[in-house]
């Protein structure tokens, strides 16, 4: 059934966007702006693929992707939180570094057959027509993405630790005065964001296209950054936005396959054009943006000052 096949590809294409954006959402809620999502994703992708190849287990590959993303994020954290480097410049440098290092590490992996992460069928539910194959016969990373959305939403808005993290993101000076560990909390948030980006990268090289291709993240890290703003820093809106952008990505591929009379370059640019249009629309509603944006986002914090 062609509709079911299209919806399956939309879900697969949307999952890495949701996971990477969710990690960045938590990072930004703590007041840290990490523009290095693309770099952490591609590092996660190459490390996941290499580990899966070496071990023969895609699950070890997933774990390697998560650890690689978290480790790469620690470099960003050290430079911006400990050395108080500019967050925007450091994030951009991290992306460039990630693209370069991944190309070097993955040079010998190009063309090597991948180890695919097999789907997990949930008994009984997987047999439901249409809905079963779409939501209950998926790989473990899809299930993790839904669990992460639920967990992050609960953490941010229902738990004491989430309240502290949001307080730090809104006013790190006041939070420090109240005795909250600003730097430690931000380190943990940055590491969580890196782990999510690494997991998203692992999904690309083990599920979406189970092989290694240089620059295979193809700008998804930047779309994930736009998704955070699109969702107004809300996990459930982020989930909906992720599937919307995933649908645009897959839609342009099917449009090319159906031979629609438009240049293929234009169709390929549609997901990124949609990102720009969404950001322009959001920027017009300044009141909503100001209410939801963490007040300390991107601002350096030095306890002694």
Which DSSP string do the residues of 235-287 spell out, in sequence order? Answer: HHHHHHHHHHHHHHHHHHHHHHHTT-SS-HHHHHTHHHHHHHHHHHHHHH-HH
3-state secondary structure of 137: strand
Q: Which residue has the tokens 């997901």?
A: 271
Average of per-residue pLDDT across 52-79: 95
Helix, strand, coil percentages, rounded to 5, for the chain: 75, 0, 25
* Count of C-beta atoms within a 10 Å radius of residue 223: 28
Q: What are phi and psi of 138, to 5 degrees?
A: -125, 170
pLDDT in tens, 21-34: 999 999 999 999 99
Average of per-residue pLDDT across 192-205: 96
Q: Which long-range contacts (CB under 8 A, 24 or more apart) does 279-285 make?
A: 279/226, 279/229, 279/230, 282/229, 282/230
pLDDT of residue 15: 95
Looking at 3.30.70, 3.30.519, 1.10.3470, 1.10.530, the CATH number of the domain 2-292 comes to 1.10.3470
pLDDT band, very low/low/confident/very high, at 7 (cuts 50, 70, 90):
confident
* Token pair listed for 6: 């299209």
Q: What is the rounded CA–CA span in Å between residue 271 and residue 20? A: 16
pLDDT band, very low/low/confident/very high, at 287 (cuts 50, 70, 90):
low
Cβ atoms of residues 201 and 48 within 8 Å = yes
Q: What percent of the chain has pLDDT over 90?
A: 59
Distances (CA, A) of 135 to 14, 72, 138, 217, 261: 13, 32, 6, 24, 34
C-alpha angle 303-296-24 in degrees, rounded to nearest 5: 110
Total length of the chain: 305
Q: How many CA atoms lie within 13 A of 17 on its CB side?
A: 32
Phi-psi domain of 106 (left: phi exceeds 0; alpha: psi -120 through 50; beta: other): alpha
pLDDT band, very low/low/confident/very high, at 121 (cuts 50, 70, 90):
confident
Domain spans in the chain, listed from the N-terminal domain onward? 2-292
Cβ atoms of residues 114 and 203 within 8 Å = no
**Greater pLDDT, 282 or 169:** 169
* Token pair listed for 280: 């322009």
Pairing type for strands 137-138 and 120-121 reads antiparallel
Average of per-residue pLDDT across 129-141: 87
Q: What is the rounded CA–CA span in Å between residue 149 and residue 279? A: 22
Q: Which residues contact 255 (CB under 8 A, 6 or more apart)?
A: 262, 267
3-state secondary structure of 127: helix
């Amino acid at each position: 059934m062609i509709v079911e096949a299209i919806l399956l590809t939309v879900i697969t294409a949307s999952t890495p966007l949701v996971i990477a954006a969710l990690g960045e959402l938590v990072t930004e809620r703590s007041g840290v702006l990490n523009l290095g999502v693309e770099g952490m994703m591609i590092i996660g992708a190459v490390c996941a693929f290499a580990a899966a190849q070496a071990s023969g287990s895609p699950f070890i590959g997933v774990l390697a992707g998560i650890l690689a993303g978290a480790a790469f994020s620690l470099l960003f954290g050290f430079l911006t939180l400990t050395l108080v480097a500019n967050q925007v410049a450091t994030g951009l440098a991290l992306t460039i570094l990630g693209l370069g290092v991944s190309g070097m590490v993955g040079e010998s992996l190009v063309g090597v057959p991948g180890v695919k992460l097999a789907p997990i069928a949930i008994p009984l539910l997987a047999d439901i027509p249409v809905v079963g194959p779409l939501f209950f016969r998926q790989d473990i990373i899809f299930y993790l993405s839904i669990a992460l959305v639920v967990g992050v939403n609960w953490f941010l808005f229902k738990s004491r630790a989430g309240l502290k993290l949001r307080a730090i993101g809104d006013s790190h000076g006041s939070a420090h005065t109240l005795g909250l560990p600003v730097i430690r909390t931000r380190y943990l948030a940055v590491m969580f964001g890196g782990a999510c980006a690494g997991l998203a990268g692992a999904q690309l090289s083990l599920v979406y296209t189970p092989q290694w291709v240089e620059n295979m993240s193809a700008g998804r890290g930047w779309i994930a950054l736009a998704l955070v703003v699109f969702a107004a820093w809300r996990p459930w809106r982020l989930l909906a936005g992720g599937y919307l952008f995933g649908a645009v990505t897959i839609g342009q591929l099917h449009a090319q396959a159906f031979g629609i009379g438009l240049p293929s370059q234009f169709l390929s640019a549609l997901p990124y054009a949609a990102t720009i249009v969404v950001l322009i629309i959001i920027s017009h509603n300044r009141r909503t943006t100001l209410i939801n944006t963490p007040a300390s986002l991107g601002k350096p914090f030095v306890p002694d000052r």
